Structure 1
Amino acid sequence: MAIIKLSAIERRRLSAFITCLVFAIFAWLFTTLSNPYKFTIKQVLTFRNAPQKRAFHPLQSDTVNAIVQGTGWQMLFSKFNEDKKVISVDLHTLDSKNFVVLSTQLKQINAKKDVEHEIIAINPDTLFFDFSNRTIKRVPIELVTAIKYQKQFAQSDDIAVKPKYVTVSGPAEVLSKITTWKTDSIILNGANEDFNSRINLRGVKEGNLNIVPKSVVVSIPIDEYTEKTIEVPVKLINNHNYYDVKVFPQKVKVTFTTSLNNYPDLNEDDFEAVADLELWRHNGYSVLPVKVTRSPSYSKVVKIEPQNIDFIIKK
C-alpha cells in the first residue's frame, strides 16, 4: 500500500482545511436550525370546566396533531420535551352544545405554553361528544399499600380510612363498572411506628368523571411484637350422644405473638381451644388434637402444648 508522505507545510495546510470545513458545517447547521419551521407534534388532551349537569364521552382519541411554529432546534428537540405535549381544553361550551372548536381556544392554549412553541393549528379542530344522564354512585375506598416492617414490628390493629367511601359522578354505563376507588400507593420501608397521613385518591382517567373527596386520612397502627404464653381450657365439641367425657389435661399452654400495647390485657377469655370427639367416634382416634378456633386479631399462635390430649369416656 502506498503511503503518502506530506511535508510539514502540507500537513499544516491539510489541518487548516479540515478545521475550516468542520466550522463551515457547524455554521451551516446552526443557520439552518435557527430558521423558523412548521412541524407537527402529537399532543394529549386534558379537559377542564366539565359540565356539571351533563355526563359526556369523547367520540375521538384523546391525542391530536398540533401544528407548531418554531425553530429547527425546537423541532429537533420536540420529541424529548414531554411537558409541552399536553393541551388543556375548556369544556364550558358543552352546557349548550355537543362539540368544542379548538381553534377558538388557541389563544388560551398558547398562553400556557412557551412563546417559542406556539400552536397555529390543531387536527382535528373540532371535538365531538356523546351525552348521557349524569348519575352518582358511592363506592368504598381501596387502600393500596406496600409496607415492609422492621424486624419484630407489624400492624397491630385495623387500618382506619376517613372517609371510607368516595362519591363518583358520571355516565351510568361507566359507573356500573366501578366497584372501588383506589388510593395512591403507601410505600414504607422498615416501618416501626404508627403511620398517620393524608393520601390522595387516584385521579380520574375519563374527563367525564368526578370524585369527591380527592384525598383521605389513613391511620395504620404499628407496634412491636413479642411472645406470650397463657393456659386455655379445652372445650370438647361434637359430643352428640352426651357421653360423660374427661379430658387430660383440661388446659393447654398457648404461646402466641402479640403487640406490646395489647400484651397486658390478653387472657384466656380471648382464646378458645377445642377438641373434636367426632375424630374418636368416626375415625377411632385414641388421642384428640387441640385446635385454637378463636384468638385476638393481629395475634398469631406459635405453638400449643400439648398438641394432643387424652380422654376417658364413661358410658
Structure 2
Amino acid sequence: MAIIKLSAIERRRLQAFVTCLVFAVLAWLFTALSNPYKFTVKQPLTFRNSPQKRAFHPLQPDTVNAIVQGTGWQMLFSKWTDTRKEVNVDLQSLDTKNFIVLSSQLKQINAKKDPDREMVGFSPDTLFFDFSNRSVKRVPVQAVTSLQFERQFAQSGVMTIKPAYVKISGPAEVLARINFWKTDSLKLTDLNESVNRRISLKRSNEGNLDVEPKAVSINIPVDEFTEKTIEVPVKLINNRNFYDVKVFPQKIKIIFTTSLRDYPDMNEDDFEAVADLDLWSRQGYTTLPVKITNMPSYSKIVKMVPQNVDFIVKK
C-alpha cells in the first residue's frame, strides 16, 4: 500500500525532477573529473647504463611513489593502468657517486610517458646504492619450453641453443648462487615441423646484474614418427659362476617408434637387451624378464616379443 498517493501530473513532475538531478550530478562529475589533479601511483623501477666497473645493490625497494599530474579520469583509473608502467632510471652517474636524484631525470623520464600525464616528483626522490667489486661468470642457458605435437610427430633430436652460454656480471656473492640462466617461456602447439626461434632471456630480478646477450636462438628438430620391428639378441648378465647357460629364444622382437629420417639406419646394434641370471640364482626365477638397457634417443618401445625368456643352466 503506497504511503503517498500522487496524481499522474505529480508523478510526471517527480520523474522530470529526478531525471534533471541525475543529469546535473553526471555533468558535475564529468566537469570535476576533467580538472587537473596531482596524485600518487606506485611504479616499478628499471635501470639502464649500469656502471661497468662497479657492482651495485639498491638500498631501497624496487618501486617508487611517483607524483603524477593528470586529469581526474586518469587519477580514477591510475590504480589499474599506471602501476604496470616502469620508471626507467639512468645510472651513468654512479661511476662517480653512490646515489641518484630522480627529480634531476624528470625530463628524460617524462619523454617516455604520455604527454598529458606528467610526473612532477618522486618519493623517495633520492636512491642510494651499495657497491662491491664487479665479477663476471659464464653460465649455460636453460630453455623453458612447453611443446605439443600433432599426431605421429615428436621431437627427433637434441635441442640446440646458440649461444649455449651467457655472460653475467655483478657482485661475486650473487654470482656464486647462479648456475644457469633461463629463457622466457616458449609455448608451441600442433607442431609438425622443426622449430627455429629467437627467444629473449629472463630479465634479472636484481638491478645490479647484467646479462649478455639478451636473447638466444633455439632449434628443435621435429619429424614424423613411425613403427619399426627388429630382432635383437638377448645378452646374459651376472653369470657370476660362469655357468654354461642357454636362453630361448636367443633373440626377441622389438617394436619401436622412430623418426622417418632415422628409419633406414636403425638396426640391432642400436639396442641392447639383457636378462639377469641373478634373478634365478638368488630369487629362484624360472624365466628371466628381458630389459632394454640401451636404445636410440627419442625412440620409444611399443612392444617386446617375448618379454621373458626361458633358460637352461649346465653346471
Alignment correspondent of 1:277: 277
Question: Is the alpha carbon distance of 1:83 and 1:3 closer, same or farther for their aligned partners in structure 2, counting shifts above 3 Å?
Answer: closer
Post-superposition offset of 1:138: 0.8
Query: Normalising by the residue count of structure 1, what TM-score does the alignment of the two structures yield?
Result: 0.93
CA–CA distance in 2 between the matches of 1:227 and 1:84? 51
Instruction: For residue 158 of structure 2, give the secondary structure of its aligned residue in structure 1.
Output: coil
Cα deviation 1:127-185 (Å, max 9, x = unaligned): 10000111111111111111111122211111111111111111111111111111111
Alignment correspondent of 1:87: 87
Alignment correspondent of 2:304: 304
Instruction: For residue 279 of structure 1, give the secondary structure of its aligned residue in structure 2.
Output: helix
Question: Is the alpha carbon distance of 1:166 and 1:4 closer, same or farther for their aligned partners in structure 2, counting shifts above 3 Å?
Answer: same
C-alpha contact 1:227 1:257 (8 A) present in aligned 2 = yes
Alignment correspondent of 1:44: 44
CA–CA distance in 1 between the matches of 2:224 and 2:123? 60
Post-superposition offset of 1:288: 2.3
C-alpha contact 1:42 1:85 (8 A) present in aligned 2 = no
Post-superposition offset of 1:11: 4.2
Alignment correspondent of 2:14: 14
Cα deviation 1:219-239 (Å, max 9, x = unaligned): 111112222111111222222
Query: Normalising by the residue count of structure 2, what TM-score does the alignment of the two structures yield?
Result: 0.93
Post-superposition offset of 1:266: 0.8
C-alpha contact 2:41 2:83 (8 A) present in aligned 1 = no
Matches within 5 A, 1:102-117: 102-117=102-117
Post-superposition offset of 1:214: 1.2
Alignment correspondent of 1:75: 75
CA–CA distance in 2 between the matches of 1:305 and 1:205? 54
Instruction: For residue 82 of structure 1, give the secondary structure of its aligned residue in structure 2.
Output: helix
Question: Is the alpha carbon distance of 1:26 and 1:302 closer, same or farther for their aligned partners in structure 2, counting shifts above 3 Å?
Answer: closer
Cα deviation 1:100-127 (Å, max 9, x = unaligned): 1112112222222233322222111111
Percent identity over paired residues:
67
CA–CA distance in 1 between the matches of 2:264 and 2:139? 39
C-alpha contact 2:42 2:83 (8 A) present in aligned 1 = no
C-alpha contact 2:42 2:63 (8 A) present in aligned 1 = yes
Q: In terms of mean alpha carbon deviation, does 192-201 or 64-73 score higher?
A: 64-73
CA–CA distance in 2 between the matches of 1:115 and 1:284? 85
Instruction: For residue 26 of structure 1, give the secondary structure of its aligned residue in structure 2.
Output: helix
CA–CA distance in 2 between the matches of 1:42 and 1:174? 27
Question: Number of residues paired by the alignment?
Answer: 314
Post-superposition offset of 1:12: 4.3
Alignment correspondent of 2:217: 217
Matches within 5 A, 1:285-296: 285-296=285-296
Instruction: For residue 282 of structure 2, give the secondary structure of its aligned residue in structure 1.
Output: helix
C-alpha contact 2:153 2:224 (8 A) present in aligned 1 = yes
In structure 2, list runs of 5 or more residues that go unmatched: none
Q: Does 1:261 align with 2:261?
A: yes
Residue identity in the other structure for 2:35: N
Q: In terms of mean alpha carbon deviation, does 205-214 or 74-83 score higher?
A: 74-83
In structure 1, list runs of 5 or more residues that go unmatched: none
CA–CA distance in 2 between the matches of 1:172 and 1:135? 5
Instruction: For residue 239 of structure 1, give the secondary structure of its aligned residue in structure 2.
Output: coil
CA–CA distance in 1 between the matches of 2:301 and 2:36? 75
